[in-house]
A and B are shown apart, each in its own frame.
Chain A
Amino acid sequence: MLDYRGAPRNRLIRFVAGRLVLAVITALFVAVVMFLAVRTLPGDPAMNLLGTNSTPQQRVDLNRAMGLDRPLSMQFVIWLGHVLSGNLGYSFSQGRSVREVIVPALDNTLVLGLSASVLAIVIGVVMGNLATSSRRPVRRITDWFEAIFLSAPQYAVALVLMIGFAVVLPVFPAGGLSSRGAVGFTDELWHLILPSVALALAPGAQMARSLKTSISSLQSSDLLPALRGRGLSPLRLTVHVHHNALPPMITVLGIQVGGMLGGALFIESIFSIPGLGNLVVQSVNLRDYQLVQAVALVIALIFIAVLLTSDLLNVVLDPRIRVSKL
């Protein structure tokens, strides 16, 4: 008994430590790759800052002032040192510290991405259930829904939504995250609805499809008649069905979370939501290296943190994983 209770705890600590080391290595790898990728793009940051009218000497001077004349490896080490001491660097294109530029953008992207995730779950569950309805017209509708939103580009969906519900029927605001004068929760929520819907429709359709597949395969199996035979109420039957069908569906969501962090770009652009996606494009265009590197690192760190958290929670919650892994 002592062994049983003591040993897993040690192993748990080892597991956590191992995971953390892995996370650090991953983050470092991302940092190196991003650093190299953005530096191999043709471009001259000083040209962007000083304009075409600048002399080559001025550009050389400015690049030196920005520390870009040093060897790449040294620049990387210096940058890494700063990052480790909590200094994300200075954005030369915006004349502010990188932290000042990133924090508001990160806030916006998180709010948008996460509200879209919630919405995607709702859409997925509702449409997935309707898709297995015994009524044919209902199934027709859900089939159309899936076909349209799985294939339509998000950019087009967003524009149609915006023109439909902000211009033709002016129900929602046409972009931004707050209205002048009005501030607060309801105002922000109101602004978030259209972009969240636009972002959630494709993953929602994907989830609906996976839910539909799981439910219909269950319906054709012996499980349901068996459960029914044991006298389970329709409500409990539904719970059983979903319990079995949810995991693959939520796997889809897990994949989408990553997509939403970086891929909200189009949505951010159309609804003029100043988030990380916009920031990446802008800073790459301006060859604002420190900003690009920091944004990429932040996105990677969030991703790593989410995966790490879920791994750890898995270990805590699922006994089988504990046994096989520890």
Chain B
Amino acid sequence: MYGKSRRRSMRAVLLGPLAIVITTATLLAGCSGGSSGSSSTSGQTLVIGSQMASFPSLDTGAITLAGYEGQRLIGNLVYEGLTKRDVSDPNKPAGVAPALAKSWDISSNGLAYTFHLQTGVTFHDGTPWNADALIYNIHRYMDPKDPHYDKALGTYYAVLTYVKDVKKIDVNTVAFELNKPFSFFLADLYNVYFASPASLDKAGSSGQAKHPVGTGPFVFASLNPNQEITFDKNKNYWGTVPKLDHIVVDLIPDPAARTAALRSGRVDWIEAAQPDDLAGLKSAGFQTTGNAFDWEWSWQLMASEKPFNDIRVRKAMNYAIDRKAIADDLLGGTAVPAYQTYAAASLYYNAADNIYSYDPQKAKDLLTQAGYPNGLSIKVGYITAGSGAMQAKSMNEALQAQLAKVNIRVTLEPVDFSGMYAKLAAGHTGWQAVNQAFSLEQPSSWSWIFTCGKNYFEYCNNQFDALRAKALTTTDDAARAKLLTEAGHLATEDAAWMYVVNDTAPRAMSAKVKGFKQPKSWWIDFNNVSMG
């Protein structure tokens, strides 16, 4: 016994000096090797604390892997698509605006799109943007016979499955032929980014993944893996040259750490600020911004099973909850109550569809009519964290308490994103409802949310599907919006979900940051931002 414990102690005695030696060695190594990756940061530098946990591959389509934040803070700085989201007016929902395409013509049958490309545009490596560069990239995404074809990248761009052929008309004109009419073609091209063919010839996809070369307002400067990425101003940008000289994006996934980083001056701007921190930051002289956008935080009610196969129960849920208390008290005004399918920031929103209200008595009556005079018990799966989950735990617990007042007893089951969708895809979840947040900004990708037989939440309304199908082929903007508004009205009448809130994407930034007006969108434009 003595020998054994003695031996163990001796082992430990040795670890101490060992640790010291290794520490010193590593620190010295870090010292000598530490000079790489730094870039000059003179001039106006904006440092952003993002909630990303890691940087994605920096190649065009792969950036979408880091979610909307990856596209917003990396993709849209370096790369551009033929179109972009129009976020110039902070009071209007984001529509479609031209980007690398100056204008376009659409044939009357909706099958032929002719793009007139911006002229005088160069990639960051000085090579020109033109029809050849466009076709090179499109083939890279979708033509298995092309030597540059990258199957993995192609899968990120569902919009290209509508493309039958792409042809060069002249150096600045390109014609796309679609295999069926698709009215969201322009809208969905916004993140089909274009990389410099010269850079791809030189270093391929793996080179692009580490050193992206696009046409965007900022030029990739350096990547300190797992810590920060730096961009420099594109002095030759074809549009309005940004005022900022540099943008640095730091990975700070912990929300409390983001706030501290802002307060200490390590960063000038934080994404996804904690609602609880906003008042304190404001009184300490920081700016806070937020604007309701198209982000639906709701409970999807599994409509093909008991008890939610009865519309009265689904309606009862919608009358039972006090959304204002959640948006204003719990979330400190960083969310707005949602009373229908669409957010007020949606192109398809109609205020007349706000048909629900906080009316617990009505909820109880509906439950009684549906045969549940003593209430009922349900199990709800929710995604605990991640981009856009908001304060999932406290929000769900607040809802649980509110629903208990009308005798709807909720058991909450936390799960992560991957676990949630693996279960949903397999069916038989054991949950009567699920909570997650998503956007309805892209109607072309609604099948997994609404379409009969295809969506994860068992919702089915054939009329809804017919309206959406018609919208997908209606090229006139107003007529299309009207069809989708009508479809949304049906879903709201059906009480497909328990509508809770829409997010306002709260941010906080130092008083030095000037010129930022947060749009009704998660897409933002840094071109007017400067450091005072």
- Give A contacts to B, CB under 8 Å: 41-45, 47-54, 56, 58-59, 61-62, 65, 93-96, 100-101, 104-105, 107-108, 110-111, 114-115, 117-118, 121, 159, 162-163, 166-167, 170, 173-178, 180-181, 183-185, 187-189, 246-248, 250-254, 257, 269-272, 274, 278-279, 281-282, 285-287, 306-307, 309-311, 313-314, 317-318, 320-321, 324
Contacts and interface: CB of A to CB of B under 8 A. Distances in A.
Contact of A287 (B22, B28, B418): B418
A42 B423 contact: yes
Contacts of A177: 227
A9 B416 CA distance: 55
Q: Which 3 A-B pairs have the closest CB atoms?
A: A95-B57, A247-B9, A274-B226
A170 B8 CA distance: 42
B19 A114 contact: yes
B513 interface: no
Contacts of A246: 13
Nearest to B19: A117
Nearest to B205: A95
B456 to A, nearest CB: 7
Given A48-B418, A174-B260, A250 B18 contact: no
Nearest to A100: B225
Contacts of A251: 8-9, 12
A174 B263 contact: yes
A279 B7 CA distance: 34
Contacts of A107: 26, 30
Given A95-B57, A251-B8, A47 B425 contact: yes
Given A42-B422, A310-B11, 5 more contacts: A111-B26, A174-B266, A247-B6, A285-B53, A306-B15
A164 to B, nearest CB: 10
Interface string B23-67: 100111011001100111100010100000111110100101100
30 contacts: A42-B423, A43-B422, A44-B425, A47-B422, A52-B456, A65-B152, A94-B55, A108-B226, A111-B26, A114-B23, A114-B26, A166-B260, A166-B266, A167-B260, A176-B250, A184-B31, A185-B31, A188-B27, A250-B12, A253-B12, A253-B15, A274-B251, A278-B253, A282-B53, A285-B386, A287-B418, A313-B14, A317-B14, A318-B10, A321-B3
A324 B10 CA distance: 15
Nearest to A92: B152
Contacts of A180: 38-39, 41, 45, 47, 228, 230, 248
B151 A181 contact: no
Interface in B399-422: 416-419, 421-422
Contact of B151 (A42, A65, A287): A65
A65 B16 CA distance: 47
Nearest to A158: B257
A285 B26 contact: no
B3 A324 contact: yes
B256 A270 contact: yes
A270 B30 contact: no
Contacts of B361: none
Contact of A162 (B19, B156, B257, B425): B257
Nearest to A272: B252
Given A170-B264, A181-B38, A272-B250, A311 B57 contact: no
B430 to A, nearest CB: 12
Interface of B: 3, 6-16, 18-20, 22-23, 26-28, 30-31, 34-35, 38-41, 45, 47, 53-57, 59, 62, 64-65, 151-152, 155-156, 158, 209-210, 224-228, 230, 248, 250-254, 256-257, 260-261, 263-266, 386, 416-419, 421-423, 425, 438, 445, 447-448, 456
A163 B257 CA distance: 9
A128 B152 CA distance: 58
B289 to A, nearest CB: 21
B16 A185 contact: no
A100 B206 CA distance: 12
Contacts of B152: 62, 65
Q: Name which of A42, A53, A247, A272 has the most chain B CB atoms within 10 A of its CB.
A: A272
A101 to B, nearest CB: 7
A269 B253 contact: yes
A250 B16 contact: yes
A272 B54 CA distance: 11
Contacts of A252: 12
B440 to A, nearest CB: 12
Contacts of B448: 52-53
Contact of A285 (B12, B41, B418): B418
A100 B209 CA distance: 12
A117 B15 CA distance: 10
A95 B417 contact: no
Contacts of A62: 152, 155
A150 B227 CA distance: 31
Contacts of B18: 306, 309-310
A95 B153 CA distance: 11
B280 to A, nearest CB: 11
Nearest to B7: A321
Contacts of B425: 44, 47, 56, 59
Nearest to A268: B254
B261 A272 contact: yes
B1 to A, nearest CB: 12
Q: Name which of A49, A274, A309 has the most chain B CB atoms within 10 A of its CB.
A: A274
